[in-house]
Chains A and B, each alone.
Chain A
Amino acid sequence: MSDGDVSDRSVLTCEEVTELAGLHVLHALDAEESAAVRAHLDGCAAAHAEFMDLGGVVPAISRLFEPVDAPPELKSRVMAAVAAAEAPASTVSATAVPPTVSASVAPGPAAPAPSRTQAEMDARVWEPPAGERPQPRRVNGLGWAMTAAAVMVIAVLGAWNVVLQSRAGEVEQRAQLIAQAIAASTDPEAEVAVLRGTGSAQGASGFAAFPAEGEGYIVLVDLPPAPAGQTYQAWYLVDGQATSAGLMAVGADGYALMSDVAARDGSQQIALTIEPAGGVDTPSGEPVVAGELSA
């Protein structure tokens, strides 16, 4: 009510909450204030329809943002970050894993039953998502930490396993490797190549990252399966001269990843070709995936 009443922002009256509605729907309250607003709405018998009224304007205002294409390499980073994240909440509940620690006071919104009354609707709309935990969200640089808990969650998810791979250990390991690969790619000292597919691998994208110290990684998404009896093989290129970096297997979901890739001094490009199973000493065809390394 009174301006700058910062001393006790945790308990708000209906009137105060109504005053804050506009700022709230524009995300212009700090974390503490919006938590206080939500706490009030959760416990308030009044409908507070002003939140819906004002909030409904926001999608219209959002029309004023001009689309800007993101750098192409962002897609593989995003897909990799998602692969390294926990499975969607649905798979968690489907396998009867207890919902990841919820500190929320609100009842979980798990049941997707449509609401009947306006009040119920509002309550649901304003409910903080129960499953969303404050967890390490930075994925760049050394801030990344794949917590043991997250790895465990992934390992336990039966449905997740079916979607991705057949063996649980691989999933866990892959999530870890992807997390490490992302960390390596955002190391300012790392040599990184943005990889893009052409020809039969059109649509594939990814990156190779060689940190200043330690092993390198090659990560690809949306890579089609290699033809029967054939395999993807990765190469370093120095002045057009190719040296094998190893064979890459593609998961059923189109992810391919290679770790422990030794850095080769002077390499200018990373490329993938399709070769007979078992690999070859010199590439027999044109690359289907390639990218320039830059320090």
Chain B
Amino acid sequence: MTSTPDPLGGRTNGISEKTDEMLIAGVAAGDHQALSALYDRYQGLMYGMATKITRDGSLAQDVVQDAFVGIWKNAVRYSSDRGSARTWILSITHHRAVDVLRRRRPTSELPEPEGPAPAPDQLVLGDIWPEVAERLDASVVHGALESLPPVQRQAIELAYFGGLTQQEIAQRTATPLGTVKSRVRLGLLQLRRVLTGGLAEVDRPSGVGLRPSGAGGAATSETDR
């Protein structure tokens, strides 16, 4: 329940009670109201992601717009057994953001023609453990990321938050390409291990005073027991 951002979106008609998946089905049928409701729910997350990656408010607006056009056109292909609506929407947004960034940022190594954008790819990254992923809060994920060897963490962050390609990461960190590949792969594997296995006992980096009680503990001010 708490996973849906801004569940009521400030609206009071029936559409606000629909699940994300129902709204996407509506969008697939050409319902503009459903898209409007989806916008209200996700604009903050999408714009936040796009702003962080592009570091440019106007580019970020382009990203959100592109992403919604993509959602509109591809809603019919969405299938909930391939991952949650949130995952799907954010994956599209992330892809658009790195696309926009790369078209803007010519790199010396990559001949990235500015012509027709590469067919944007909307891979759906399946939630393997959706019930887990949906419950994770940022502090738990952050803790897991902190637990990685710094070089692995850095490679993942440059890729995912920085929108860098593997070549750019290699250049930036003066690391051979093969090492970049294995850092990212091993880092993600380790994250998966920590997040799935250790949901109830994520190692917190020293003394933040949080009980290792898994999701949700961070936000609530514990009136302790």
Contacts and interface: CB of A to CB of B under 8 A. Distances in A.
A145 B112 CA distance: 22
A79 B133 contact: no
Contacts of B142: 64
Interface size class on chain B is 35 or more
Interface in B123-164: 123-130, 132-133, 136-138, 141-142, 144-145, 156, 159-161, 163-164
Contacts of B184: 22-23, 26, 28
Q: Which of B77, B87, B120 has the most CB of A within 10 A?
A: B77
Interface in A47-65: 50, 52-65
Nearest to B195: A60
Nearest to B189: A54
Contacts of B224: none
Interface string B95-120: 10010001000000010100011111
B192 interface: yes
A79 B98 CA distance: 23
B210 interface: no
B192 A70 contact: no
Contacts of A38: 121
A4 B191 contact: no
Contact of A59 (B40, B43, B118, B133): B133
Contacts of A65: 45, 48-49, 52, 161
Interface string A1-23: 01110000000000000011111
Contact of A81 (B44, B65, B83): B65
B35 A79 contact: yes
Q: Which of B5, B27, B65 has the most CB of A within 10 A?
A: B65
Given A28-B164, A59-B90, A70 B112 contact: no
B44 A70 contact: yes
Nearest to A182: B65
Interface stretch (A134-142, A240-248, A256-264, A272-280): A134-142
Contacts of A63: 136-138, 141
Contacts of B169: 28
B68 A34 contact: no
A109 B77 contact: yes
B5 A67 contact: yes
B123 A125 contact: yes
A63 to B, nearest CB: 5
Interface stretch (A85-93, A189-197, A208-216, A286-294): A85-93
B18 interface: no
Q: Which of A63, A67, A203, A255 has the most CB of B within 10 A?
A: A63
A149 interface: no
B182 interface: yes
Contacts of B40: 75
A96 interface: no
B8 interface: no
A132 interface: yes
Nearest to A86: B73
A114 B106 CA distance: 41
Given A28-B165, A82-B72, A221-B36, A60 B45 contact: no
A256 B70 CA distance: 23
A75 B141 contact: no
Contacts of A60: 132-133, 136, 141, 144, 191, 195
Given A22-B184, A59-B90, A132-B74, A81 B69 contact: yes
A140 B62 contact: yes
B204 interface: no
Given A22-B187, A54-B192, A90 B36 contact: no
B166 A28 contact: yes
25 contacts: A3-B178, A19-B185, A22-B184, A25-B188, A26-B184, A27-B98, A28-B98, A30-B167, A35-B118, A38-B121, A57-B191, A59-B130, A61-B160, A64-B141, A71-B61, A74-B47, A74-B61, A82-B35, A88-B76, A89-B76, A129-B74, A131-B73, A132-B73, A139-B62, A221-B36
